[in-house]
C-alpha cells in the first residue's frame, strides 16, 4: 500500500501540528476535487512530519531575535553572508538595484557586511512587493541552521527518514525548507529508504545559489536513489523559490531529470503551502496539479 508523507516548510515551531496537518489535508483535498478525483485524504492516510520545535530549540527559542536595520543581533558573519546572498538573488531577480557594496558576500566582513545586508533588506522592504525583510530573515534562519548545524540536521533527518521508511512505497510531498530536508534525507544511504515512486516539491528554494551551495557543502549533488519521479512545482511570483530545479538551477548527474511545472498559488506572497483564502483552502497543496499527481499515485488502480 502506498503511503503519503508530508513535510511542511519553515517557521512552524510553537504551532499545533494537528492543526497544521488538518490545514494540509484540507488543501490537498481541495486540489483533488479540482482534479475531479474521487480520492479524499483523512488523518490516517498521511504521515505529517513536524520538525519545527526541534529546529527552534537549536536556534535558541520560539521567537527569532528582533529585526533591526543593522541585521539580526547575534547572527554570525557566516549567517549574514548567507542571508545577503539570498537577499541579493531576490533583488537581482526582481531587477532591483541597491546601494550595497558590489563585493561578493564572501569578501565582506565587519561593518561592510552589516551595511550590505542592511541595504539589501531595506531595498526588499521598499521595492519588492509580496516579500518583506522579516519574512526573508525567518526563512534564511531556518534554512541556514538546518544546513550548517550538523546536530540539528541529524536530529531532523532521523525523524524524517523514520517517517518515509516502512512497509510499502511512500509518496513524499515537501514544501519550502521541507524540500531541502527531503532531498538531504533521500540522497543518503539510510536503510529502509528504497521506494519513493513520487517526490513532489512545492516552492523549493534548492536552486537559490546560496542554498544550493550550502546543500552541496554537506554532500555532492546527486539524484536521490529511492526516488523514481521528482516533480517540482513553483509559482514564478514566489520570491522564496526564484528558479526552476533544472540543469542550470539544480544540476543533478545521471539519466533522470526533475520535472518542473509552474502553477498559480494565489495566496499573498505566493509561497504558503496550506492556508485559507476567502474562506477556501488555498496554497501550493491546493493547486490542481498536486491533486492530479496524488490521484495518479495514490488513487485506485
Tens-place pLDDT, residues 9-28: 875 545 688 889 999 999 99
Judge if 85 and 210 occupy the same domain: no
Q: Give the global pTM.
A: 0.90
Intervals of the chain under pLDDT 50: 13, 61-71, 73
Judge if 128 and 101 occupy the same domain: yes
pLDDT attached to residue 75: 79
pLDDT attached to residue 52: 67
Judge if 157 and 278 occupy the same domain: yes
Instruction: Please give the tally of structural domains in the chain.
Output: 2
pLDDT attached to residue 108: 77
**Beta carbons of 47 and 6 less than 8 angstroms apart:** yes
In a domain, 175, yes or no: yes
pLDDT attached to residue 106: 76
Judge if 97 and 237 occupy the same domain: no
Judge if 20 and 40 occupy the same domain: yes
* Contacts (Cβ under 8 Å, ≥6 apart) of 36: none
In a domain, 72, yes or no: no
Please give the grid coordinates belonging to residue 76.
554570525
pLDDT attached to residue 56: 66
| Closest listed residue to residue 288, CA positions, set 269, 261, 253, 270 | 261
Judge if 131 and 271 occupy the same domain: no
In a domain, 101, yes or no: yes
Alpha-carbon distance of 21 to 26, in angstroms, equals 9
Which residues of the chain form beta strands (DSSP E)? Answer: 3-7, 46-48, 170-175, 199-202, 230-234, 259-262, 275-277, 280-282
Judge if 236 and 94 occupy the same domain: no
| Closest listed residue to residue 215, CA positions, set 206, 203, 223 | 206
Residue pLDDT, tens place only, 115-131: 889 889 999 999 998 89
What is the domain extent for residue 34?
Answer: 3-57+147-298
In a domain, 62, yes or no: no
pLDDT attached to residue 66: 36
Q: How long is the chain?
A: 301
Alpha-carbon distance of 243 to 208, in angstroms, equals 7
Using DSSP, state whether 120 is helix, strand or coil: helix
In a domain, 282, yes or no: yes
Amino acid at each position: 500500500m502506498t503511503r503519503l508523507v508530508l513535510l511542511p516548510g519553515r517557521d512552524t515551531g510553537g504551532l499545533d501540528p494537528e492543526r497544521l496537518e488538518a490545514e494540509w489535508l484540507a488543501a490537498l483535498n481541495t486540489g483533488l476535487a479540482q482534479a475531479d478525483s474521487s480520492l479524499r485524504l483523512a488523518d490516517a492516510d498521511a504521515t505529517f512530519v513536524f520538525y519545527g520545535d526541534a529546529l527552534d530549540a537549536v536556534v535558541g527559542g520560539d521567537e527569532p531575535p528582533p529585526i533591526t536595520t543593522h541585521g539580526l543581533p547575534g547572527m554570525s558573519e557566516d549567517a549574514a553572508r548567507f542571508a545577503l546572498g539570498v537577499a541579493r538573488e531576490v533583488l537581482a531577480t526582481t531587477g532591483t538595484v541597491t546601494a550595497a557594496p558590489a563585493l561578493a558576500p564572501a569578501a565582506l566582513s565587519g561593518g561592510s557586511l552589516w551595511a550590505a545586508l542592511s541595504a539589501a533588506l531595506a531595498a526588499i522592504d521598499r521595492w519588492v512587493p509580496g516579500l518583506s525583510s522579516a519574512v526573508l530573515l525567518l526563512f534564511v534562519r531556518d534554512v541556514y541552521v538546518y544546513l550548517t548545524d550538523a546536530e540539528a540536521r541529524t536530529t531532523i533527518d532521523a525523524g524524517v527518514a523514520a517517517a518515509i521508511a516502512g512497509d510499502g512505497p511512500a509518496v513524499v510531498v515537501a514544501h519550502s525548507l521541507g524540500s531541502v530536508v527531503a532531498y538531504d534525507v533521500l540522497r543518503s544511504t539510510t536503510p529502509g529508504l528504497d521506494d519513493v515512486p513520487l517526490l513532489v516539491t512545492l516552492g523549493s528554494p534548492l536552486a537559490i545559489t546560496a542554498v544550493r551551495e550550502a546543500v552541496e557543502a554537506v554532500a555532492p549533488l546527486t539524484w536521490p536513489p529511492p526516488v523514481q519521479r521528482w516533480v517540482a512545482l513553483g509559482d514564478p511570483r514566489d520570491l522564496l523559490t526564484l528558479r526552476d530545479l533544472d540543469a542550470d538551477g539544480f544540476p543533478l548527474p545521471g539519466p533522470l531529470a526533475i520535472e518542473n511545472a509552474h502553477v498559480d498559488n494565489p495566496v499573498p506572497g505566493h509561497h504558503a503551502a496550506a492556508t485559507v483564502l476567502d474562506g477556501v483552502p488555498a496554497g501550493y497543496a491546493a493547486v490542481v496539479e498536486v491533486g492530479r499527481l496524488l490521484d495518479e499515485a495514490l488513487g485506485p488502480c
